Amino acid sequence: MIEATIRRSRNDGGILSFEMTGHADFAEHGRDLVCAGVTAVVFGAVNAVIALAPLEPILDIGEDGGYFYFEFPEAADQEALQKAQLLIEGMIVSLETIERDYSEHLRLTANQI
């Protein structure tokens, strides 16, 4: 199962970071539609943040494809941060849609810190 954790600020509810671990195990490697969908949504959103915000997030991507970490930089321009927040909120909506249909393969949780 892919576990995705969204960390939000207690102060304003803004996204601070997100982390994904695990594998969907929906089908064999190369045929796993849940994995492909989640990967496309996440990488598309992160690429959009970098290209459109523009903002350089802190990223850590696992070698085997089972780990992804994204964090907003602390010293980000407020306008860029607003754009990036909206893009990542869109990513979350897409992941929630996948989770609704494939809850045995993707679980989203949100924490406030």
Residue among 34, 35, 41, 91 flagged as catalytic: 35
Active site includes 29? no
Residue among 7, 21, 22, 23 flagged as catalytic: 23
Nearest to 46 by CA among 61, 24, 28: 61
- Strand order of the β-sheet with 2-8 is 58-61, 67-71, 15-21, 2-8, 106-112
How many angstroms separate the CA atoms of 105 and 25, rounded? 7
Residue reference for tokens 């796993």:
32
Active site includes 35? yes
Phi, psi torsion values for 5, nearest 5 degrees: -120, 125
Any idea which residues carry the catalytic annotation? 23, 35
